[in-house]
Every structure is written in structure tokens, then in C-alpha cells.
Amino acid sequence: MEWIKVINDAIEFMEKNLTEEIGLLEVARSVNISAFHFHHAFTIMTGITPAEYIRNRRLTLAGAELADGSSKIIDLALKYGYETPESFTKAFSRFHGFSPMQVRKGSPLKSMNRYTVRITIDGGTIMEYKIEKWDELDLLVHAKDFHAETSDQEIPAFWDEYFSNEATKKIPGYLGVCAQGSGPGGLADKSDVFKYGIGCRASDVLGEGVVAADGSVPAGSLPEGFEIIHIPAYTWAVFKCVGPAGEAISEGWDKIYKEWLPSADYERILDYDIENYLPGDSSAADYVCEICLPVKKKG
């Protein structure tokens, strides 16, 4: 998948539909990927969320129309997706720094132009990664469903909850796995929901051979609140991330989308990804963790 083209095609769709009722799911469907993947990639590659892009572009256009005196405030509110003039005025004032009435009287406007995403070469950062073939993998995880647009805030809280709960923290929590659902039974085509789990390899707790080929386990063998995520055999790109865990993972994802994916001989398989938090002080400058992505050769 050519991510630069995907993002630019999505921007084209958004620009053509700024006066229509569109959201994350509609934009993601326009480029044929899950809402999770689209939200993740767009935010990394542009620095703002899709919702922020749509809102800022709408308010930019509304400001230009208001300044030329051709439209009423109530008409602009309805045109650009606000249910009431009051909600429009609040959003407008937050973005432009002045109310619609002040702009009518000559106060200045802010503007955000349409984005175009391109590859730029900045200079010699080195990404340390390896390509590995993994057999089928069973993970024992405490999991829940998240919405793509709010997951950036909710997943860190989910980690805090995991280690503050006496029941869940008894299970090693060194893996974070996203099951975005492009495979059987997935959620990708149904909503902006994806599953995220915290845990470990199932064999670490249940032992070898307990999990059947279909992912089932003997009755009563699963710890309460946990489930099995069965991951098929894939080729994986494993990226080494160094530094305090949160910063290192964030920087790792940034480099993967902006530097590695546009130029690599591999493309992502949009099914799972795993963050592997290795032993050590996760706040240390030399702490090591990994981002693991299933991949396939391009072409």
C-alpha cells in the first residue's frame, strides 16, 4: 500500500465533501482501509487528526465566506455541519480568535490551507530493524474494544488500569497487541472499533500445547478477564526503539510511516501489530522496546 497516495486521496475526498456529513469512517472507507489504520497513519503523517483537519478546513472556508459579507451566520453554521449558530460561534471563535460578529466588523481571520503530503528527505537517521518469519502465535491478553478517534488517550489509561488491578497484573504484561480486524471476524468494515490487548505469550502462563489450533482452551484454564488472540504465521518487520517507552514507541511509529514504509521493499499486512516491552527500566534513556508489524514483499 502506498501510504502517501492513500493520505492524499483521503484529503481529496475530504475536500470534496466539506459541506457534507462525513466522519472518520466515511473517509477511511473512501480509501479502502480500516478507520484505525487511516486515523493512525493520517495523524502521524500530518500532525493532526482527520477530525481536526475537517473542522479547521470548514472553519477556514466559513471565515472567508463570512468576511465577504455574502452569508448569514445561521446559514454558515448549517452549511458546515453545526446544529446551532451558538455551537458554530463557539468553534469559530476558538479557531479564528474572534467571533463571527467581530470578523464582520473587520477583525482578522486565520486560515489553514489544504494539505498535500509528500516525501521529504531530511538527513541521516538510521532505523534498526530485522525481518523475521514467525510461526502461528497465541497471545493471552486482557482486551477491550476502542474507537480509533479516542484511543490515543484511552490506551495509556488502559495500561495504568492493567497494572493497578490486582487480578490482571498477576499476568505478565509485556505485549500490547492491536487486532485491527482485517481477518475473519474483524471489525474493520463495520465501524471505527478495534481490539487492543495487554498480556504475554499464552505459553508463558498456560504452558505449551494447551491452546488448540483453533485458539480454544480447556474449560477453566483461562485466567478471569483474559482471552486468547490467535495470530497466523507471518513475516514480521521488527523495529528497535530506544528511549523512555512512550517517547520511543511514538518516535518509532513516526519513522515507520514517514521513512521506512515509503521506501521499503515491504508493505504492511493490515491485520495485527505488536508492541514488545522488554525487561528493564521503561523510563531510562537506553530502554529498548520493539514495534512488530506483519509485512509482505511489494509487488
Q: Residue 32 class from Cβ within 10 Å (0-12 exposed, 13-18 middle, 19+ buried)?
A: exposed
**Number of neighbours of residue 298 by Cβ within 10 angstroms:** 10
Task: Encode pLDDT of 9-64 as tens digits.
Answer: 999 999 999 999 999 999 999 999 989 999 999 999 999 999 999 999 999 999 99
Residues of the chain with CATH 3.20.80.10: 129-297
**Number of neighbours of residue 51 by Cβ within 10 angstroms:** 15
pLDDT beneath 70: ranges in the chain: 120-126, 181-190
Question: Is 217 strand, coil or helix?
Answer: coil
Predicted model pTM: 0.86
Residue 163 DSSP class: H
Residue 274 identity (one-letter amino acid): I
List the CATH code of the domain at 129-297.
3.20.80.10
Residues of the chain with CATH 1.10.10.60: 3-104
Grid coordinates of 54: 475537517
User: Could you tell me if 195 and 144 are in contact, meaning their C-beta atoms sit under 8 angstroms apart?
Assistant: yes
Q: What is the pLDDT of residue 187?
A: 41
User: Could you tell me if 174 and 278 are in contact, meaning their C-beta atoms sit under 8 angstroms apart?
Assistant: yes
Residue 240 identity (one-letter amino acid): K
Q: What is the pLDDT of residue 125?
A: 62
Q: What is the pLDDT of residue 120?
A: 66
* Distances 194 to 20, 53, 203 between C-alpha atoms, Å: 26, 22, 25
Q: What is the pLDDT of residue 215?
A: 78
Q: What is the pLDDT of residue 216?
A: 84
Is CATH 3.30.590.20 what the domain over 3-104 is classified as, yes or no? no
User: Any bridge partners for residue 176, and if so which?
Assistant: 198, 275
Residue 195 host element (H or E): strand 193-201
